[in-house]
Amino acid sequence: MGNPRRIETHRAIWRRKPSLRAVYQDYFDRIKGSVVPGPVLEIGGGSGNLHEQLPHTISCDIQWTRWLDVVADAHALPFRDGAFANVVMLDVFHHLSEPLRFLHEASRVLRPGGRLIMIEPNVSLVSWLAFRLFHEEPVDIYDDPFDLEARKHQSPYDSNQAIPFLVFIRGIERLRTLVPALRILSVERFGLWAYPLSGGFQRWSLLPLALVRPILTLENHLAAWLGPIAGFRLMAVAEHR
């Protein structure tokens, strides 16, 4: 999700960095492994990368690109109740101006037993420091993502990388109370070294392609212990009751 010029820049970097594509393939595989049978809606699909992995997905974003099926605001989706078995998103939730409003909307378009699946930035001791020093997007851990009134006039191109952490980790009990239609199945914090070493969508990379798979394998073994302390990524899976 984001500015079309930024999307084009990201796609150019994507094509030039095989190690980045390999790291994201792990994210795509995690999402694909969590979907249930039935139609899939992708939120914030402007870059087209996840859509290529789930080719029968309906992909939407707030601004048109040639990889989209629908232009729509994630806070007011133009679909009937229960239209989808899955709503998936990658690096989108932390851009939404009204996260709580979106979660109600996602639950509306999901059928009973359907899943909301997202992978987002995670705030840990290590990632917070790295994001603050090296990432262009802000990390405000004092934000209140549940305050609808204060968030109404924010730009859709604003972001706060702390929002997924504030909703699914620090605010999970509030989430369960405020969005009772969604049952949280899992919240996993992972992504220890491969992602930061890849440089993300910066032009540099310290990660040779040959090392991606061994590092990811090691990370997966250690994520349960080190994810809360050093994880750069958060994956949340919720089910519509």
Structure tokens that stand for 208 in this block: 């040779």
* Cα(179)–Cα(177) distance, integer angstroms: 6
Residue-range domains of the chain with CATH? 4-240 (3.40.50.150)
Residue 219's nearest CA partner among 203, 237, 197 is: 197
Please tell me whether residue 126 adopts helix, strand or coil conformation.
helix
Cβ proximity of 126 and 132 under 8 Å: no
pLDDT at position 156? 65
Residues for the chain: how many in total? 241
Residue with tokens 């909703």: 167
pLDDT at position 1? 54
Give the amino acid at 190: F
207 CB-contact burial (10 Å; exposed 0-12 / middle 13-18 / buried 19+): buried
Q: 82 in the Ramachandran plot: left (φ > 0), alpha (ψ -120 to 50) or beta?
A: left
pLDDT in tens, 174-228: 999 999 999 999 999 999 999 999 999 888 999 999 999 999 999 999 999 999 9
Angstrom distances, CA of residue 83 to CA of 105, 111, 231: 12, 6, 34
Indicate whether this model's pTM tops 0.75.
yes
pLDDT in tens, 98-152: 999 999 999 999 999 999 999 999 999 999 999 998 888 999 999 999 988 777 6
* Cα(51)–Cα(219) distance, integer angstroms: 26
* Cα(55)–Cα(59) distance, integer angstroms: 9
Cβ proximity of 59 and 70 under 8 Å: yes
**Position 154 pLDDT exceeds 80:** no
Q: How confident is the model at residue 153 (pLDDT cuts 50, 70, 90)?
A: low
Residue with tokens 């990632």: 127
